[in-house]
Structures are given as C-alpha cells and as structure tokens.
Amino acid sequence: MNLNQIISEADMLVPNEVDLADKVLWLNALNQDFFNVVKIPKIAHFDCVAGQTDYVLPSEISQKNIDKLLVGPSQYRSLDREDVTPYQNAFAYDDSTRTLSLFPAPYDAFKGFLRYHRVATSNFVSTTLTVPPDAPEEYHWTFIPALAAMLANSQDDSVKASNYENQYKAAWNVASQNYQAGAVQ
C-alpha cells in the first residue's frame, strides 16, 4: 500500500479540505511514531580486530535503538544506559560519527553482533506518493485510521478521532507484543 492509497482511503473515512502537504507531513510523523511503538529487531554484523576500540556502523543504527552487543563470546553493556561495574565489558555509541567504542578492546579477532531496533528512514514528499511507509507491509493498513484520526482532529471531531486512534494504536500495540515475543531475550 502506498501513500496515495492511504490518503485516498483516509479521505473517504473523513471527508476534508486539508492540504496534501499537511497530510504528507502527518504521514511522516506517523511513520516515525510506528517505530517508536513497534520495536522490530535487526542484527548488524561487524569484524573486530584485536586491540581495536572503535568501529563505524551503518547509519540506520542509533544509540537509543541498540538493544544488545556481543563480541565473540562476550556480552558488552551500554555505558549510556546501564550500570557498568569495573571489569565488565562496556560500549559507547556516538550517533554523530556512527562510531561504536568497545571497552576493553577485543583481545582477539572476533565477529561482533549488534541487535538494534529498526527506525523509519524515509522522508515523504507530496511529489512522490507512490512510495510505501517504512513499516512492514502487513501494517500499512494501520496508517489509514492513523491519518483519519489526524484528519478528524483537524475538524474538531473528537469522537471520530478517538475511534480511529484506538484502532491504529491497538494494532500497533499488538504488533509491538508480537515482535517482543519473538525477540531473543
């Protein structure tokens, strides 16, 4: 399902005079919000070098979305979000340089495995409405009631807005639980 289809369906649910540019702006926000609610795990692999502390990772990884880090047989804990005691392996991640720093540096060449959560990477514009949301295809339909809720709010129809908001938020919460249940703990 692409943005044009989502907008058309939402417009049928809530007839409106809202500018297309505003609808696209709202869809950008909803695209980001989806991944704030639904934490979809991904794995990044990288090769570690004995004695090397810093590693540049792909740009879609951000510090707040890192869930777990393994280097060879060792787990590393986040200096930013966890209490790390002396003699524990730790890591820090710099969003601006996309650099992962390991403390202590690996003592041998190992494979690194970093589990993180997906984020929205698209920035929609009103000239290209044939693109889909970044969410998995099975959840594209949820953007229809989400946009309809925003349209209803813009018309001060709080009852309709609340109904549509409950629909998409319930679906996103189920999606979140499904991905959480499937995540390796």
- Read off the pLDDT of residues 7-31 as tens digits, 9 standing for 90 and up: 999 999 999 999 999 999 999 999 9
108-127 average pLDDT score:
92
Q: Evaluate whether 72 touches 110 at the Cβ level (below 8 Å).
A: yes
- pLDDT score for 182: 54
Compute the distance between CA of residue 67 and CA of residue 180 in angstroms, rounded to an integer.
12
- pLDDT score for 140: 97
Compute the distance between CA of residue 168 and CA of residue 138 in angstroms, rounded to an integer.
13
- pLDDT score for 185: 38
Please name the residue ranges forming H helices in the chain.
3-13, 20-37, 143-154, 158-182
Q: Can you name the residues that pair with 47 across neighbouring β-strands?
A: 111
42-68 average pLDDT score:
93
Distances (CA, A) of 6 to 10, 53, 83, 146, 168: 6, 46, 44, 10, 13
Q: What is the pTM of this model?
A: 0.81
Strands (E), 48-174: 54-56, 66-71, 74-78, 90-94, 99-103, 111-117
Return the percentage of the chain with pLDDT > 70, whole number: 97
Q: Can you name the residues that pair with 41 across neighbouring β-strands?
A: 117
pLDDT classification of 184: cutoffs 50, 70, 90: very low
Q: Can you name the residues that pair with 71 across neighbouring β-strands?
A: 74, 112
